[in-house]
Structure 1
Amino acid sequence: MRRIVLVVLLAAAGPWAQAVDTDPSERVAADPDVIAARAARERGDWKEAVLRLQRAERRYPGDADVQNSLGHALRQTRDFDGAFRHYGKALQIDPRHRGAHEYIGEAYLQVDDLASAERHLAALRGICMLPCEEMQDLDKAIADYRAKKR
């Protein structure tokens, strides 16, 4: 009897019960446009990656990873205004997003704004209690930038 009641309750809950079982980050990662953007990125087709991530953004505007990935793809096409806009959205959604801090810092170096890059490195130092990959990558990018400017 209890099994029948449980089955009836789950059937009545319908899609809502399924939505509870799925982690939002899993839904985003399984999104066909996100998957296609990842494949486009791997083959260096940044325009396709941008197109696919823009589609995904319409479905997941509040996802910091989508915003960060879109910022990165736009930066690769040299659309710095768009890149900064999407990195900014990622950091509004998640101020501790390590990838967004790293990528926006690297973008600032590309437009010769060392001070802003250093601010994001400082943010990463505050976020990463132990050295994290994003902090190390941005630190190296800043060191390389300084050596090149000498």
Structure 2
Amino acid sequence: MAAGSGGDSYASDAESDAYKEGRQAVEAKRFEQAVKIFARVTADEPDNPDAWNLFAFSLRKLKRFDEAERHYLKALRLDPRHLGANEYLGELYLQTNRLAKAEERLTVLDRACLFGCAEYSELKTAIEAFKKTGTVPGA
């Protein structure tokens, strides 16, 4: 899956220009820039779980794990079944050596993805790799 593109749940046709700019920064792996943009977007759109998810994703890529975790949890308070936030929070848990918490996110995704989804498959693969190697692929 493209960086940060997973599981958007907010109305995509209602994306603000700032959100689109932030998403483009994430896709280009300009995470410092994305953090600045999503700080503004989440201030303007505090009920947008996709913005919180991409804000958290960018922070996680910068290894700012505590902040990222808070923002993923905010996204999940707004939308508990948000596919991207559940997958990426699971990956954060692996990066911070919390396998059981990552497996909880996998269970949530299993229930949310009745017929399977990329987010479930990707987190499952990451968990399996973590169990074998102690590392997270692509982290």
TM-score by length of 2: 0.85
Match of 1:105 among 81, 84, 90: 90
Alignment of 1:107-126 (within 5 A): 107-126=92-111
Give the total of aligned pairs.
126
Give the letter aligned to residue 138 of structure 1. L
Structure of larger gyration radius: 1
Aligned counterpart, 2:38: 53
Aligned counterpart, 1:20: none
Aligned counterpart, 2:81: 96
Match of 1:129 among 89, 114, 120: 114
- The CA distance in 1 between the partners of 2:120 and 2:50, in whole Å, is 17
Following TM superposition, by how much is the alpha carbon of 1:104 offset from its aligned partner in structure 2, in angstroms? 0.1
Which whole-Å deviations, capped at 9, do the CAs of 1:120-146 have from their partners, x for residues lacking one? 001111111111111000000001111
Following TM superposition, by how much is the alpha carbon of 1:38 offset from its aligned partner in structure 2, in angstroms? 2.0
Aligned counterpart, 2:126: 141
Tell me, what secondary structure is at the counterpart of 2:114?
coil
Structure 1's unaligned 5+ residue stretches are 1-22
- The CA distance in 1 between the partners of 2:11 and 2:23, in whole Å, is 18
Following TM superposition, by how much is the alpha carbon of 1:24 offset from its aligned partner in structure 2, in angstroms? 5.3
Aligned counterpart, 2:71: 86
Match of 1:65 among 47, 50, 53: 50
- Between Structure 1 and Structure 2, the one with more helix by share is 1
Say whether 1:26 aligns with 2:13: yes
Say whether 1:42 aligns with 2:42: no
- The CA distance in 2 between the partners of 1:24 and 1:60, in whole Å, is 12
Aligned counterpart, 2:61: 76
